[in-house]
Structure 1
Amino acid sequence: MTDTSMQALADRIEIEALRAEITDAVMMRDFDRVAALFTPDGTMRWPHIGKEFVGREAILTGITWGQGLWEFFVQTVHPGFLQLDGDTASGRAYIHEFGRLKDGTSHLNFAVYHDHYERTPDGWRFSERVYEVRYVDSTPLPGTAH
């Protein structure tokens, strides 16, 4: 294997670890860690509700606000496309989420994250994450949260 292909393999592994870490941070409600996984001027966009958060402080505020709406929330993320381009990359991840909001409504969806990544001195970080909802079901969930 060449040095170039070894670097590409290492980059892919690091980006997949980044995607896994942000999912874990959201599920564990560690919103400071979520924000730290973005570049300082990174952007998180939720077009389905007209929200955009630019910069780590705004991302922290946005994710804290958004997750604060939920009684309980479960997200599973499945790896998708990844394209490397030197010190930047782009990709998609596929999401299945469900939960119940504090207002009593339920939510089950399938969505896609459209991501841009940037290599930084601290490792790969999100420079942009855009959340695209593809399917929503608001049928009341019969279960309970523990």
Structure 2
Amino acid sequence: MSDDVLARLDAIEQIKALKYRYVRCLDTKQWDDFADCLLPETTGAYAGLDFADRESLVAFMRKNMDESMVSLHQVHHPEIEVDLEAGTATGRWYLQDKVMIEKYSYVLEGAAFYTDRYVRTPDGWRIAHTGYERTYEVEMSTKDLPNWKLKVKPTH
């Protein structure tokens, strides 16, 4: 295998690890580590919810994804293209997510396609833009599910 192929495969693996860290830190509410996945000028676009920079994106998540919200974000089926010379990459991911807020008897399940841009920095790959377009959402009340119980274990 050529050095170029190996470098491209290494970059793809690093970008996968970055995206997995992004969703893990989101779900575990590790906001400093979540922010570290993003460039200061990162933009975000989540199905009509737009952010101009990392500061506003992280502040929104920190405020709205409080301890009463339990979430699950899984990304898979990555399609990653790397430009080694430019130190940039693009990625497309399939998202499956679930959000539960017990005090509001609320559950949301959905899926979407993420589209990301990445930049290689001296500290490794970082997200320059992230966002998704929904393919579906299902909202339900746990009041309609009489046996529904939520048990949460600390993750950090």
TM norm structure 2: 0.83
- 1:130 matched residue in structure 2: 131
Measured after TM superposition, the shift of residue 125 of structure 1 is 0.5
Aligned equivalents of 1:65 and 1:114: distance in 2?
24
Amino acid at match of 1:120: T
Q: Structure 1's 85 and 17: CA in aligned 2 closer, same or farther, altered over 3 A? A: same
Q: Note if 1:80 corresponds to 2:78.
A: yes
Measured after TM superposition, the shift of residue 111 of structure 1 is 1.2
Q: Note if 1:53 corresponds to 2:15.
A: no
Q: Note if 1:15 corresponds to 2:15.
A: yes
- 2:69 matched residue in structure 1: 71
Percent identity, please. 26
Q: Structure 1's 75 and 143: CA in aligned 2 closer, same or farther, altered over 3 A? A: farther
Q: Note if 1:144 corresponds to 2:145.
A: no
Q: CA RMSD in A?
A: 1.8
Measured after TM superposition, the shift of residue 139 of structure 1 is 2.5
> 2:74 touches 2:97 (CA, 8 Å); kept in 1?
yes
The 5-angstrom pairing of residues 86-97 of structure 1 reads 86=84, 87-97=87-97
CA deviation map 1:31-64 (0-9, x unaligned)? 12111111121112123xx322222221210221
Give the greater-gyration-radius structure (CA): 2
Unaligned 5+ segments in structure 1 are none
> 1:70 touches 1:99 (CA, 8 Å); kept in 2?
no
TM norm structure 1: 0.88
**Greater shift after overlay, 54-63 or 6-15?**
54-63
SS of corresponding position for 1:64 = helix
SS of corresponding position for 1:144 = coil
Q: Which runs of 4+ in 1 moved over 6 A?
A: none
In the comparison of the two structures, how many residue pairs are matched?
A: 144
> 2:27 touches 2:70 (CA, 8 Å); kept in 1?
no
Unaligned 5+ segments in structure 2 are 143-147
Amino acid at match of 2:55: E
- 1:113 matched residue in structure 2: 114
Amino acid at match of 1:113: Y
Measured after TM superposition, the shift of residue 118 of structure 1 is 0.7
> 1:31 touches 1:64 (CA, 8 Å); kept in 2?
yes
